[in-house]
A and B are shown apart, each in its own frame.
Chain A
Amino acid sequence: MKFCPKCKVKIENNLEICPLCQRPVQPLDDVFVTEYPSHPSRRRLVTLMKVIGFLAVLLITGTVLLSAFSNFQWVWSLVVIAAVVYLGVSIVLVVKSSKNIGLLVMIQALSLSVLTFLIDHAFGYYRWSINYVIPFLAIAGTLLITLILLFRPMALRDFFIYLLVIALLGGFSGIMLLCRWVTVAWPSVAAALYCVATLAGLFLFADRRARHEMKKRFHL
């Protein structure tokens, strides 16, 4: 114990100055209480997000300036910006969602779809993104999550919503086919079929869990 003559209070920690008035204290006895760690960890002030944001600002500014002062085409800088945003988001998500593969797969499938579509659009719109890439992403994503679920049925709780979203991406491919936006039919047909099969299987064979998940995720 220590004693502060100014505040006239006892101090149970081994301190040199009084926590109330910051003046030196007098020793009373050698019995001290330690309730808290002396060097607790605290929130990091420079986070990964900030570093990535900083780098992204530099890269994007650099690209825009370069394309303004050279014969660069403007499309290029747009593509670079999209790629930088995609990379930044991916890195943050990999770190943040290291425990949930479903979320990772879903975000990658969706953001790669958008990115490739933008690139395709920027370079003449040959439709390779919607013809091949998006259907392929939908199949790959669905397959990946289905495989995990086959080995860990309990994980449906964690993966259900992501499986649903990726499967909807396959459905979207099918819609694009119906609207005649897609010029090569077979990848979209395969994706739509595969995704319908997955959803049908999910709701028929794992019906209780699937319905339960729907109820939880969409409760008002």
Chain B
Amino acid sequence: MNQNYQEFYWNKLDNAAKMYSAVSREQATNVFRLSVQLSSPVEPDTLQTALEQALRDMPSFQVKLRKGLFWHYFETNFAAPRVRQDYTYPCAKIDRNITNGYLFRLTYFSCHVHLDMYHVLADGSGALQFLKLILAYYLEQQHPGTPFAQLLPDGEWGFSRGGQEENSFLHYRAPQTAPSSGDGTGPVGSGALGAGAEASAPAFVPKEQPKTASAIPKGLQAYRIEGVKVLGGELKMITGVCSAKGLIGLVKAAKKPVTAYLTALLIYSIYRQSFQYHQQNRPVSVCVPVNLRNFFPSSTLRNFFSNVSVTLDLFRKNPSFEEILEQTTDQLAKKQESTALEAKMKGNAHVEQSMLIRIIPLFLKRMVLGLMYRKNDKLHTSSLSNLGRIVLPEEFAPYVLRFEAHLPVSPRQPVKLGVCSYGDNMAFTFSCALEETDIPQFFFRFLQQQGLEITIGCNEPAAADTSAEPAKKERRKRRKGHEVLPQMQGEN
């Protein structure tokens, strides 16, 4: 785009982004990570060029966040993007002094490329399209002759900028007949990574509160997983990889949708490892973001998802996995009917349009929205985000091995699960802000007992480094070096 366009370009935030921009802080970063494993070690310079090319094609990521009197807004970022070796914890707050104002962080480590995306800018589906494009340009330079970027389906990025940045929440809230995918077996949550905040807090509109199967009062606090917190700013990641075919076989045998099966297993793990020993009269509630692009013909790269919650009352019951699976499937199917989603969106978009909310100055809005975010956070025990099956043209297959989705935790939801599959690799990534690992342990042992072969990866330092004294010194040195770049909010 030409200079004039870039200089005068600006855009408002979408509904969900407004919430995220107001409430994000170190304890609830709202930064998620998409991680991809390549077949060979990453070349930083090639990746840098690929990023620049991808930004040229998807200018909606070449923005910075500014403060207005009433709302934040996006404007063109003229600074150069920076590719770095991974230097911090996954999903850590984006330090805009380090990223040159960009709202994402593209890093690499040995064979892995990590894209940490601030949820203000995009949801899982949007970020995935961006990552695919970066990969395509990366491979194009490494293997000249194959036009990787051309091979990506056009629909993935060939839209106008208006289409890429559409606030689809507003666009599709009107009663409009959507393609019928309300059979419950629809593409549950394949794409949305909406962990934590609702598109706009449902606290605004109590009528839209999820109704639960066992008649739990509206807006009741959900059961909270307790434990010893990890050190501030750290996050434990535990990834388990299994065969996608194996898992599908397992789910088919149970005759249930994949997301319902996994959600049920997560609830069952929470029940068996935590709830059953700290019985409280509180429901176990798991938040499942649904990609609304599957229900509405939107091609936006910005946020477009809706949170659906599965709430089960397990107090003084002794449920089997099958019972939980049955109830979970029911609730997901009901709440995913397009009429239910539309009604919810209508309520949320209505909030954004309300004059009362709009005329509150930004700094007060942050307080109000922060309160609502915390209240909303208490409604869920955990979140599960399923990006679904990631498809790349077959030319990519020899070079791209595995995708992972990492979710940020929030104060009331210290354990979350991100799922995605690519080829025959299905990756489950637990983000834990607790030292205890009982829940992932139960989850993976359960799958193992069903006959799946599980491979675990985690971000614990490798054995060679843990005991060595020089490592500690090195860390101190690194930290000192890091102070050159102050870890602050950024300009504006």
**Residues of A at under 8 Å CB distance from B?**
1, 4, 7-16, 18-22, 32-45, 95-100, 103, 154, 157-158, 212, 216-220
Contact = CB atoms under 8 A, between A and B. Distances in A.
Contacts of A40: 86-89, 459
A10 B441 CA distance: 13
Contacts of B491: 97-100, 103, 158
A154 B7 contact: yes
A96 B92 CA distance: 19
Given A37-B109, A219-B68, A220-B359, A9 B448 contact: yes
Interface stretch (B231-239, B299-307, B324-332): B231-239
B455 A10 contact: yes
Contacts of A12: 455-457
B35 interface: yes
B171 interface: no
Interface in B68-99: 68-71, 73, 75, 78, 85-90, 92-93, 97
Contacts of A41: 87-88, 478-479, 482
B90 A36 contact: yes
Nearest to A102: B491
B10 interface: yes
Given A11-B458, A40-B459, A219-B73, 20 more contacts: A7-B441, A8-B445, A11-B457, A13-B457, A15-B460, A18-B456, A19-B460, A20-B441, A21-B437, A21-B441, A22-B437, A32-B462, A35-B457, A37-B86, A39-B465, A45-B233, A98-B486, A100-B492, A212-B8, A218-B69
B440 to A, nearest CB: 6
B466 A16 contact: yes
A97 B491 CA distance: 5
A19 B458 contact: yes
Nearest to A4: B456
A23 B241 CA distance: 20
A36 B462 CA distance: 10
In the A-B complex, the 7 residue pairs with the closest CB atoms = A43-B233, A42-B233, A36-B459, A20-B441, A100-B491, A19-B458, A99-B491
B410 to A, nearest CB: 16
A157 B437 contact: no
Given A35-B35, A40-B88, A20 B492 contact: no
B113 to A, nearest CB: 10
Contacts of A158: 491
A154 B459 CA distance: 43
A172 to B, nearest CB: 19
B160 to A, nearest CB: 22
Contacts of A15: 458, 460, 462-463
A24 B464 CA distance: 15
B262 to A, nearest CB: 17
Given A13-B462, A40-B88, A218 B70 contact: yes
A98 B358 CA distance: 31
Interface string B92-110: 1100010000000000011
A42 B69 contact: no
B461 interface: yes
16 contacts: A7-B445, A9-B454, A14-B462, A19-B460, A20-B437, A20-B456, A33-B110, A34-B462, A38-B465, A42-B89, A45-B231, A154-B7, A216-B66, A218-B68, A218-B70, A220-B70
A103 B492 contact: yes
Contact of B232 (A18, A43, A157): A43
Contacts of A9: 240, 444-445, 448, 454-456
Nearest to B461: A38
Contacts of A39: 461, 465, 471, 474-475, 478
Contacts of A7: 441, 444-445, 448, 456
B460 A13 contact: yes
A34 B110 contact: yes
Interface in B435-492: 437, 440-441, 444-445, 448, 453-466, 471, 474-475, 478-479, 482, 486-492
B344 interface: no
Contacts of B190: none
A148 to B, nearest CB: 15
B240 A16 contact: no
Given A43-B26, A43-B93, A20 B486 contact: no
A166 B487 CA distance: 28
Contacts of B12: 219
Given A10-B456, A41-B479, A96 B232 contact: no
B246 to A, nearest CB: 14
Nearest to A218: B69
A34 B114 CA distance: 13
Contacts of B168: none
A18 B440 CA distance: 12
A155 B255 CA distance: 60
A42 B88 contact: yes
B37 interface: yes
